[in-house]
C-alpha cells in the first residue's frame, strides 16, 4: 500500500454520526484495516474489508470500493469515549506488512 | 486474548548508547513487526519478521537492527542512539494467515538526550 490519505482532524457532537474517509493507491490490493488508537495507548483492531461493500459491527461500519481505491469508517451514535485517532491501513497482495495512513483524530464534544 | 508485551513503557538514553527494545507475544504468531510513531507521520515500519531468524527491512531501517531467536520474541536494537530516534516504538504480531490483523503492544516511549 502506498499514498494513503485521510483527513487530519474531525470534530462531532455526542450522539451524531461521523464518516472518516481513506483513499489509497496500491499495486495489488489485499485488504484494508481500520484501527482505533486512544491517546497514549496502542492501536486496536476495528475492522477489515477485502471485498467491496459495507461491513457493520455495532455502532461502527466500514465500506470499501476497490475500483475507486476508497474506504470509509462510519461511527454512529457517537460517545465521548470514541474520541481517538483512527488509522487506515492497506495490505498489498503477497505481503505481510501494512502501510498506514497518518491517522484522523476525532474529537467528540458534549 | 492475544497479548503483546514490551519491556519498558518509558526509556531515557544518551546519544551513542546501544539500546535494546524487547517484545514478546504469547499467541504463537508467525509475524512480528516494529514500528515507530511520530506526530503527523503515523506508523512507519522499521523491520518485520515472518519466521524465527528471518527478517526484512521496512520503510525506515537505517540506524536499527533486529533479532528474532525465538518465535515469541522480537528485539529492536539501536546500535548508537541519536536524538532523531526519540519516538514512540510499537511492536505488533500477527498470525500469518487469514485476515491476519496485527495486535499491538503498549509501546515504548524512548527519549534520546
Contact A48 B99 (CB under 8 A): yes
Do residues B43 and B60 lie in contact, with contact meaning Cβ atoms separated by under 8 Å? no
What local confidence, expressed as pLDDT, does residue B83 receive? 98
Q: Is the pLDDT of residue A22 over 90?
A: yes
Q: Who among B58, B101, B105 is closest to A48 (CB)?
A: B101
Contacts of B31 in chain A (CB under 8 A): 96
Contacts of A97 in chain B (CB under 8 A): 33, 45, 48, 58
Q: State pLDDT tens for residues B45-93.
A: 999 999 999 999 999 999 999 999 999 999 999 999 999 999 999 999 9
Contact A96 B42 (CB under 8 A): no
What local confidence, expressed as pLDDT, does residue B45 receive? 95
Q: Is A26 helix (H, G, I), strand (E, B) or coil?
A: coil
Report the residue of chain B nearest A34, measured CA to CA: B101
The whole-angstrom separation of Cα B92 and Cα B25 is 8
What single-letter DSSP state applies at residue A5?
A: E
Q: Is the pLDDT of residue B2 over 70?
A: no
What local confidence, expressed as pLDDT, does residue B97 receive? 82
Helices (H), chain A: none
What nine digits make up the cell of B52?
A: 524465527
The whole-angstrom separation of Cα B55 and Cα B7 is 20
Q: What is the mean pLDDT of residues B30-53?
A: 94
Contact B43 A100 (CB under 8 A): yes
Amino acid at each position: 500500500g502506498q499514498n494513503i490519505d485521510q483527513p487530519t482532524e474531525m470534530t462531532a457532537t455526542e450522539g451524531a454520526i461521523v464518516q472518516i474517509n481513506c483513499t489509497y493507491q496500491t499495486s495489488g490490493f489485499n485488504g484494508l484495516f481500520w484501527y482505533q488508537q486512544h491517546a497514549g495507548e496502542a492501536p486496536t483492531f476495528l475492522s477489515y474489508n477485502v471485498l467491496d461493500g459495507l461491513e457493520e459491527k455495532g455502532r461502527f461500519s466500514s465500506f470499501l470500493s476497490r475500483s475507486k481505491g476508497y474506504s470509509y469508517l462510519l461511527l454512529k451514535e457517537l460517545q465521548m469515549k470514541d474520541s481517538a485517532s483512527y488509522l487506515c491501513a492497506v495490505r498489498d497482495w503477497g505481503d505481510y506488512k501494512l502501510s498506514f495512513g497518518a491517522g484522523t483524530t476525532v474529537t467528540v464534544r458534549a | 486474548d492475544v497479548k503483546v508485551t514490551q519491556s519498558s513503557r518509558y526509556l531515557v538514553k544518551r546519544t551513542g548508547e546501544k539500546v535494546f527494545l524487547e517484545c514478546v507475544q504469547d499467541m504463537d504468531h508467525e509475524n512480528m513487526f516494529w514500528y515507530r510513531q511520530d506526530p503527523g507521520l503515523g506508523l512507519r515500519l522499521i523491520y518485520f519478521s515472518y519466521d524465527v531468524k528471518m527478517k526484512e527491512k521496512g520503510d525506515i531501517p537505517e540506524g536499527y537492527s533486529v533479532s528474532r531467536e525465538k518465535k515469541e520474541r522480537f528485539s529492536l536494537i539501536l546500535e548508537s542512539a541519536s536524538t532523531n530516534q526519540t519516538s514512540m516504538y510499537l511492536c505488533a504480531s500477527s498470525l500469518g494467515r487469514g485476515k491476519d490483523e496485527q495486535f499491538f503492544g503498549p509501546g515504548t516511549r524512548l527519549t534520546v538526550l
